[in-house]
Structure 1
Amino acid sequence: MSISSEDKARLIAVAEAATRKAYAPFSGFRVGAAILTESGNIFEGCNVENQSYGLTICAERTAIVSAVAAQGGEKMRIRAIAIVNEDQTPCSPCGACRQFIWEFGRDAIVLFYDSKGLQESSIRQLLPHAFSFD
């Protein structure tokens, strides 16, 4: 699966805007994410921290939950997701988010920054042994 340069640029722009909405009073690490669904819709998400760090939710999962709430879990499928932070420092999805992305987009393209700049990978590359009942 691939996405156009225009879609990549749109996803990055939406994700960058979402960083400004993040609630990160403890770490100061503001993350934004944007997903492009197979139906062509874009949903954003930001990280939301909690004093009990285990209750913190990542930007990727916030975006996915928003899309599921809007489109219904059985219908929503991810084509691509972009993850950024305010400083454009390395920021690939955590393990929990990788599994969450896999659940809704087994062929999803993942855009994120690493030490070499913007990277594009598939969720299959990032999570080669994903958990699945099938």
Structure 2
Amino acid sequence: MPTPADLFEAAAAARARSYSPYSRFKVGAAIRAEDGTVHAGCNVENAAYPQGQCAEATAIGAMVMAGAKRIVEIAVVGGDAGSGLLCTPCGGCRQRIREFAGPDTPIHVFDAGGAGRSFTLGELLPHSFGPDNLGF
């Protein structure tokens, strides 16, 4: 399996396209699907704040549009280079990821300079509710 370096590059490129005029907090995400394809997305803000979209949600939408249904791993890039602050997926996005991934799915989080850490979805969303709870 390729290293997450390719996911970092795709997420960083998506971050560069972020539409974040209100928070000025740019985020990019990249998903590796079960077929090996990579799907990226950025955060898209809206003046009516609840109507914005997280980078992870944008990437998941791109993955589904391409016909994939399973996340093998995901990378998220947010925050300034060297800040030491990592941008893990928000609670809503953790649940969105859970729809297409299991507890052992790696989630790599990086700052804009490439410093990062990896977690599993189970670490970020323990005892989650997912499709298997509904018999899928």
Give, in whole Å, the separation in 2 of the partners of 1:21 and 1:108. 26
List per-residue Cα deviations over 1:15-51 (Å, max 9, x = no partner): 0011111100101111000000111000000000001
CA distance in 2, matches of 1:43, 1:90: 21
1:34 aligned to 2:30? yes
Alignment of 1:17 onto 2:13: yes
Q: Report % sequence identity.
A: 43
Partner of 1:93: 89
Residue 71 of structure 2 aligns with an amino acid whose one-letter code is I
Tell me how far 1:90 sits from its aligned partner.
1.8
List alignment gaps of at least 5 residues for structure 1: none
1:110 to 107, 110, 120: 107
Backbone CA RMSD of aligned residues: 1.5
1:9 and 1:113 mapped to 2: Cα distance?
11
Figure out how many residues of one structure are paired with residues of the other and give that number: 125
User: Unaligned stretches of 5+ in structure 2?
Assistant: none
Instruction: Return closer, same or farther for 1:120/1:131 CA change in 2, 3 Å cut-off.
Output: same
Please tell me the residue identity of whatever aligns with 1:96: G
TM-score between both structures, scaled by the size of structure 2? 0.85
Work out whether residues 8 and 110 of structure 2, in 8 Å CA contact, stay in contact via their aligned partners in 1: no
Deviations along 1:82-105, one digit per CA (max 9) or x if unpaired, are: 000251432000000000111101
- Which letter maps to 2:101? G
Q: Which contiguous aligned blocks of 4+ residues in structure 1 show a shift greater than 4 angstroms?
A: none
